[in-house]
Each structure stands twice: as C-alpha cells, then as structure tokens.
Amino acid sequence: MLSKEKLFIGGQWVAPSGREAIDVHNAGNGEVMGRIPAAGERDADAAVRAARAAFEGWAGLAAAARADYLQKIAEGLKARADELARTIAQEVGMPLKLAGRIQVGLPIANFGNYARLLRDFKWEERIGNSLVVREPVGVVVAITPWNYPLHQITLKVAPALGAGCTVVLKPSEIAPFNAFILAEVMESVGLPKGVFNLVTGYGQAVGEALVKHPQVDMISFTGSTRAGKRISELAAQGVKRVALELGGKSASVVLDDADLPTAVKSTVNGCYLNSGQTCTALTRMLVPASKYEEAAKLAAEVAKGFTVGDPLAETTKLGPLSSQAQLERVRNYIRKGVQEGAELVAGGAEPPEAAPAGGYYVRPTVFGKVRNDMTIAQEEIFGPVLAIIPYKDEDEAVRIANDTVYGLAGAVWSKDEARAQRVARRIRAGQIDINGGAFNMNAPFGGYKQSGHGREAGVYGLEASPATSFRIS
C-alpha cells in the first residue's frame, strides 16, 4: 500500500485539515494500491500563501541558479526512474517498458531541457528606447490529468519554476503517487521552501478553491473540455491568466498517393498508445473511398497484434484503462458505434479473452464506414477505438478533418511531402505530423477551438509569463 497521509506545503510535509482519504486503484487488477489525502479549502489557502511568501525570493534568484535546481530535479527523478515507471504503469495502465520510456523518460528529459533553455533564454531586449523585460507571472496553480501524469506536471512546473514563478500542484486523484515522488525529489534537492507545493484531492473541493484564490495569478490546466470551461468561469472572476490543454479528436488523413500499409500501421499505433488515453490520439483515420476495404483489412490486422494484458507483464502491448469509470465509458461508446450503424471491423465491447481479473481491460477496436456525424467520430472516447472514415477527394478530407469542436493534433500521409504540407496547412490543429514525424519536445503544444488555448513545451512554456517595458529617455 502506497499510503500518503500528508501534503507538501511550505517545504514541509503537513497533515491535511480534514481526515477524508481517497482510494487509488491499480489499473491492472482493480485493487486499492494506496490512499491519498482529500485536501480542502484550508489546505488550498495554506499552499497558496506559502507560494506567495516564497515568490519574491525565488523570482529574484538568477536564472542560472534556477536552472541548476531544474537540473538537480532531473537527476533526482532519474535516480528513481524504475520506481516511477512501475508506479505509473500501475496507476495508468501503460505497459512497463513504454512507461519507462515515455511516462518517465520524457519528464526527466524536459526538466533537463528547461535547465538548458533557461541559460540561453532572452530575458531582456532593447526595442527603440524601451527595455522589454520578461517577468514571472507570480503564483501558478497547475492542475494536471491522469493519462500522462508526470509528463503533464513537468510541462507546467518546469517552465513555471524556470521563469521565476512559484507553484501549487494539484495532480489527478486517479494517478497521484508520481507527484509525491516528485515532491520528495524537490525536497531532496533543497528547493527553497514554498516554491513548490503539493495538494491532492477532488476538483470541486480543492481544485476550485485554488482557482478562486485571490493570491493566485495564473492557472494551467490539462484535462477535459468540461472542466476547462468551469475553470475559465471561475478564473474570470479574478481576471486570472488561464492556459488550457483540453480534448481532441485528431484526424489522420491518408492521401491517395500515400504508402497505405505504413500510414495505417502508424495511425493505429497513434490511436492505441497508452490504451487510447492520449489527447492527441489519432482516433479518426480518413482514407480514400477507393482504398477503404484495403485500409480496413490492414487496420484489423494491426489491431490483432495489440496483446492485452497486465501492464507489468513483458508480453503486454495494450494495457488496461485507468479506472472502472473509464472502462464503462469506452464500452458504452463502442456499443453506440454499433447502434449508429458503423461497421465493427475489429474488437467490440465484450471483455478481452484471457485479460487479468479485476482490471479495466477493453478490446482494441476498429470501426469502419464511419460517418463524421456519428458519436464515435465527434466525441473524445479516450480508449483504443479507431474510426475509419472514407472520403471522395482531398477537399472533402480537409472538411471532415476540421469538422469537430476540437483542434489539437492530426496527421497527413503522402509520398509527396509538399502536397502533405499543403493539406496540413488547411487543417485547423495545433500539431500535425507529416508522414510520421518524430516527437519534438521543443515544438509548441496546444490546440484551437475547444482543445484549449495557450502553448506548452520548449521556450513557449517560458513565454507564458508576461513582459514589461521600461521607457528610457
């Protein structure tokens, strides 16, 4: 049992104001793997006040000194990488090998990357007779999701600390233990008291109290569009800065001259990564109508290769979903797809054969002959469910790709890279892969429409803080 009884506030582990605790379940077997405190308004207030008290001293520290702390944090996380990978694999359900590379490797790399970026970042510049100075925004509240828990924490906390802000983190109660390890690392490297604070609990109790707190300057949130709207409403009352990274329904547009087997395999992999619990998942694959039958057959074959099993097992390629609620949600969407007339090419709502008892497992599923007005083509499922949508020409493919309330990510496939880029420029999304482009931690990440606003990663995370100009005679 990974029971945690205290919060990290003002550089100390302190008892919460109430006695309520939250059970955290192992995604692989459904059993309780530990408990965390359910913090409330008094705890939120204490954390914000600690961050406010620490702000002036931290903001006044040289950027190079802040960079040194970030590098130490990266090294501290690396020393606990195996522990983190196993913890997150159990919290979230991602297979252990992938969890080590992605769920842990990326946060370590990003803390180190921000340590490097800080040393080269242009904090001041002369524009005419003005000196423009980049300044920390103040106290930042980071509210993070469960699907890539430590990675999303890092994309908020590392640049905020680097810019000179102090932070209060509220991680998801579904996958919180990695955040406690991070707090322990923060403590071990001697981060000044109050610069980083950790409170855990439910969104309505502690999350809303943090967002409404008068001494909070900015909220950075990753999660559902519904929750993002609520945060925006509350933050508007205090005219606070808000950065939102929300849902997605990303289209993988396979053009008629693409390498079809490569495009289909990569799209299915992009859809099923982390059991489909990825905001940028390529959940809609758009293919020329003339190539639909071949594409559907290829997708079904790829789906069959996703071995479902315990995330800690060596042979597992598709782990469980994160919770019972998520399992029921995904199965309901699969049933909805069948009811609305989509062709079930692979998978289905029935439990996978030979899946471990008690865990939140779902079959890797492919739907064909999907219309873009169907529920499974419009709503974010957050599970391993691919919708194949036939189209008649390039213009229709672009129209379909843009025909959702989201605009987070996408992909385009063509043997002619210039053509692929022309199509990609017509798609309203914040991040588009061309022929399977590799991940780039320094590229801006964020979306359009109801996928949110603001950008994370690289220097774009640092630039979230404001600039002040001094006019000099």
Q: Point out the catalytic residue in the list 245, 271, 380, 456.
A: 245
Instruction: Give the pLDDT of residue 472.
Output: 72
Q: Is 279 a catalytic residue?
A: yes
Look up 245 and say whether it is catalytic: yes
Closest CA to 98 of 265, 306, 241: 306
Buried-exposed string 411-420: b where 16+ CB fall within 10 A, e elsewhere: bbbbeeeeeb
What does the alpha-carbon distance between residue 237 and residue 247 come to, in Å, rounded to a whole number?
Answer: 24
Bridge-partner residues for 239, per DSSP?
none
Spell out the domains of the chain, with CATH numbers in brackets.
7-245+451-471 (3.40.605.10), 251-438 (3.40.309.10)
pLDDT mean by block of 10 residues, the chain; 473 residues: 95 96 97 97 98 98 97 98 98 97 98 96 91 93 97 97 97 98 98 98 95 97 95 96 96 98 98 97 98 98 96 95 96 98 97 91 98 98 98 98 97 98 97 94 95 94 76 63
Going by C-alpha positions, the residue among 51, 322, 41 that lies closest to residue 202 is 41
Regarding beta strands 241-245 and 452-453, do their DSSP bridges make them parallel or antiparallel, or are they unpaired? antiparallel
pLDDT at 467: 63
Q: What is the pTM of this model?
A: 0.95
CA atoms within 13 A on the CB side of 82: 1
d(CA 430, CA 36): 35
Please state, in angstroms and rounded to a whole number, the distance separating the CA atoms of residues 281 and 298.
Answer: 19
b/e per residue 76-103 (b: at least 16 CB within 10 A): bbbebeeebbbbbbbbbbbbbebbbebb
Rounded to whole angstroms, the Cα distance separating 149 from 102 reads 11
333 neighbors 381 (Cβ within 8 angstroms): yes
- Candidate list 173, 279, 380, 456, residue with the active-site label: 279
